Amino acid sequence: MKIKVIHGPNLNLLGVREVNIYGPAKLEDINKNLEMVAKQNGFEIEFFQSNHEGDIVDAIQESLTDGTDGLIINPAALTHTSVSIRDAITAIQKPVVEVHMSNVAAREEFRHKSMISDVVTGNITGFGPLSYHLGLIAMMEILNQIKMAQAQQGQKQ
């Protein structure tokens, strides 16, 4: 089964950007760790980062045809503004885990609102790079449960 991880604007600067908030890990380090854990558990994993809202919408939509079974997404600043990312998530009807490195509830008021929180399967916030790791664990569990349910369904038929 395949998991797609989508990183939003400015996350390409992790390790350089606001290290006091996001820590020293680079996006590449985070992706490497996710890749290792996914592979160890028999999952395929793919990564996408963009600073552009429309490209992120395209990447979400492509999940309909590229074999993606579940999405892990940190829309970064677009979390707080993007109706089009919300609509794309709703459109694909697949499990989605929303991830944030910082504890957005403890930051400026404009970060308290997420446009996607109520349309995703669940969210993990505030654990730095560990948020992604926990997001992956959750997604693998969700997909394993779906697979088991499908297998049981198949046996009944």
- Give catalytic residue positions: 22, 100
Q: Is 145 exposed, middle or buried (0-12, 13-18, 19+ CB in 10 A)?
A: exposed
Rounded to a whole number of angstroms, the CA Rg of the chain reads: 15
The residues that bridge with 72 in the sheet, in sequence order, are: 5, 97
- Smallest separation (angstroms) from ligand DQA to the CB of 74: 5
Pick between residue 49 and residue 63 the one whose CB is nearest to ligand DQA: 49
Q: Is 48 left (phi over 0), alpha (psi -120 to 50) or beta?
A: beta
Pick between residue 95 and residue 129 the one whose CB is nearest to ligand DQA: 129
Pick between residue 10 and residue 41 the one whose CB is nearest to ligand DQA: 10
- Smallest separation (angstroms) from ligand DQA to the CB of 102: 3
Q: How does DSSP classify residue 134?
A: H
Q: Which residues bind ligand DQA (CB under 6 A)?
A: 10, 74, 76-77, 79, 100-102, 104, 111
* Phi, psi dihedrals of residue 97, rounded to the nearest 5°: -110, 125
Alpha helical stretches, state H, the chain: 19-22, 27-40, 53-62, 83-92, 129-156
